[in-house]
């Protein structure tokens, strides 16, 4: 396997580690637990700290196991560099911590994961302005931009109502205005979609979800796609401008968010995620097929009031999803008709598990308004289109017939 030959998505992930050689012929990068790294030449140690040559400084800023995962994710997103964090929220928080200052302004999709919404609310208390808009139409984003807008932030497919942002036209707008475009790719994964294709400068992935895939490790990442010109970003400190402009953003993020803030990924978690990532394509093929089959079944059921899944032709952004994504994702949500108790329905399920994670091999299901979106309050939920009866489903890799039968049986009991 050579760098010159272009391999497919899964082949690249499976064999990428071996391109640099692994000790003792191991097929997996081993787990390096050391937090300190010694150098025979003290001058080399100083050179590494000054950024004049590559090397490891201290475990908080990375180690060989984490570096191997960063390279793996970077190849998935076709980026120029990737930094891994302890969690997906740690990665999103790095955008605030490392790149934004009081007086800056952010335009964010109003259709957000609950914790991301909470993070922007916190940023607002620290002097950063945030405008929440319906990002399914680029006109709403454009209308919210001000002279101080530094970042436009969207999710590819919104969690939990599955709205799809106007990704391509927002990217064109950001490029024309010199604004950093940050796209959370967690719900699509790099297998279904690479935001670099629509001009995203930074791509966020919650590695905990589908990339890791097994619900056994927390992690997050930021990938610089190379699409953004960092000379247009006013918040880069002078000491991070020593390298080529292409490296400015990640250099500041690694220092200000990872080194200073300490949201470091653990080596054992990095190993779990790296191994899980090897089967990402296979799992996404199964989960997206299952999700479409389940969405179609629910849409036909008389006890279901509404189904939200981009793969359905009835979905408002079905066309965008079909144009940009390899498949429509493994997340869907639905509402039962008035008078039916969502908790009674959930308790009838035998395979789908009431739990809050996403992207697991197992199908996970949760009543949104009563759990993960409870803290934001009824008014904010209503503004995001989240009904009190909304049920979110993260579809797993179960045999399709077994999964559909589980939902059919539970619905028949309503």
- Domains of the chain, with CATH numbers? 9-277 (3.40.640.10), 282-413 (3.90.1150.10)
Q: In what order do the strands lie in the sheet with 180-184?
A: 81-85, 220-224, 202-206, 180-184, 149-155, 105-109, 129-133
Q: Say if residue 260's pLDDT is above 70.
A: yes
Q: Tell me the pLDDT tens digit for each residue of 193-238.
A: 999 999 999 999 999 999 999 999 999 999 999 999 999 999 999 9
Rounded CA separation 394/134 (Å)? 23
Q: Tell me the pLDDT tens digit for each residue of 76-111.
A: 999 999 999 999 999 999 999 999 999 999 999 999
Rounded CA separation 193/154 (Å)? 14
> Percentage of residues in the chain with pLDDT exceeding 70?
99
Q: Where are the alpha helices (DSSP H) in 256-399?
A: 267-277, 280-300, 318-324, 342-348, 378-383
Of 16 and 292, more confident: 292
Q: What pLDDT, on the 0 to 100 scale, is given for residue 4? A: 66
Q: What pLDDT, on the 0 to 100 scale, is given for residue 55? A: 84
203 φ/ψ angles, rounded to the nearest 5 degrees:
-120, 130
Q: What pLDDT, on the 0 to 100 scale, is given for residue 249? A: 98
Q: Tell me the pLDDT tens digit for each residue of 27-62.
A: 888 888 888 888 888 898 888 888 788 888 887 888
Tokens of 306: 């509404």
How would you write 201-240 as a 3-class SS string?
A: CEEEEECCCCCCCCCCCCCEEEEECCCCCHHHCCCCCHHH
**Is residue 379 within 8 Å of 268, Cβ to Cβ?**
no
Residues in the chain, overall count: 414
Confidence of residue 385 (pLDDT cuts 50, 70, 90): confident
Q: What pLDDT, on the 0 to 100 scale, is given for residue 227? A: 98
Confidence of residue 19 (pLDDT cuts 50, 70, 90): confident
Confidence of residue 313 (pLDDT cuts 50, 70, 90): very high
Rounded CA separation 341/374 (Å)? 17
**What pTM, to 2 d.p., does this model score?**
0.93
Helix (H) or strand (E) holding 410: helix 400-412
Q: What pLDDT, on the 0 to 100 scale, is given for residue 49? A: 85
Average pLDDT, the chain: 94
**Is residue 250 within 8 Å of 83, Cβ to Cβ?**
yes
Rounded CA separation 162/288 (Å)? 14
What single string gives the DSSP state of each residue in 228-285?
Answer: S-GGG-TT--GGG-SS-GGGHHHHHHIIIIIITT--PPPHHHHHHHHHHHTTHHHHHH
Task: Give which of 31, 47, 355, 319 is closest to 169, Cα–Cα.
Answer: 319
Q: What pLDDT, on the 0 to 100 scale, is given for residue 309? A: 98
What single string gives the DSSP state of each residue in 57-76?
Answer: -BGGG--HHHHHHHHHHHHH
Confidence of residue 1 (pLDDT cuts 50, 70, 90): low
The span from the first CA to the last CA of the chain, in angstroms, equals 56
State mean pLDDT over 335-356.
Answer: 94
Q: Tell me the pLDDT tens digit for each residue of 150-201.
A: 999 999 999 999 999 999 999 999 999 999 999 999 999 999 999 999 999 9
State mean pLDDT over 132-160.
Answer: 97
């Amino acid at each position: 396997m050579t760098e010159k030959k272009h391999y497919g998505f899964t082949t690249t992930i499976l064999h990428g580690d071996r391109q640099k050689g692994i000790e003792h012929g191991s097929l997996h990068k081993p787990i390096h637990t050391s937090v300190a790294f010694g150098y025979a030449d003290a001058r080399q140690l100083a050179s590494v700290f000054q950024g004049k040559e590559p090397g490891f400084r201290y475990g908080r800023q990375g180690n060989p196991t984490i570096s191997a995962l960063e390279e793996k994710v970077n190849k998935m997103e076709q980026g120029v560099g990737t930094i891994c964090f302890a969690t997906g929220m740690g990665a999103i928080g790095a955008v605030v911590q490392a790149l934004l200052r009081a007086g800056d302004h952010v335009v964010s999709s109003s259709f957000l994961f609950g914790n991301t919404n909470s993070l922007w609310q916190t940023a607002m208390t620290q002097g950063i302005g945030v405008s929440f808009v319906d990002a399914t139409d680029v006109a709403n984003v454009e209308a919210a931009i001000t002279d101080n807008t530094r970042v436009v932030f969207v999710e590819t497919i919104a969690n939990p109502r599955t709205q799809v942002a106007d990704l391509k036209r927002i990217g064109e707008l950001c490029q024309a205005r010199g604004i950093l475009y940050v796209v959370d790719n967690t719900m699509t994964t790099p297998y279904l979609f690479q935001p670099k294709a629509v001009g995203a400068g930074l791509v966020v992935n919650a590695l905990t979800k589908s990339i890791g895939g097994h619900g056994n490790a927390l992690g997050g990442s930021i990938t610089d796609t190379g699409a953004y010109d960092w000379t247009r970003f006013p918040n880069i400190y002078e000491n991070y401008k020593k390298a080529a402009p292409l490296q400015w953003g990640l250099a500041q993020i690694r220092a200000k968010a990872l080194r200073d803030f300490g949201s470091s990924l653990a080596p054992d978690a990095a190993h779990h995620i790296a191994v899980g990532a090897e089967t990402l394509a296979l799992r996404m093929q199964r989960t997206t097929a299952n999700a479409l089959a389940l969405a179609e079944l629910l849409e036909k059921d008389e006890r279901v009031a509404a189904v939200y899944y981009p793969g359905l032709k009835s979905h408002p952004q079905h066309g965008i999803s079909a144009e940009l994504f390899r498949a429509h994702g493994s997340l869907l949500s639905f509402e039962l008709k008035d008078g039916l108790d969502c908790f009674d329905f959930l308790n009838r399920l035998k395979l789908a598990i009431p739990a809050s994670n996403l992207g697991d091999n197992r199908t996970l299901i949760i009543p949104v308004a009563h759990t993960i979106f409870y803290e934001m309050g009824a008014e904010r939920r209503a503004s995001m289109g989240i009904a009190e009866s909304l049920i979110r489903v993260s579809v797993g890799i179960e045999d399709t017939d077994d999964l559909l039968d589980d939902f059919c049986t539970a619905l028949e009991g309503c």
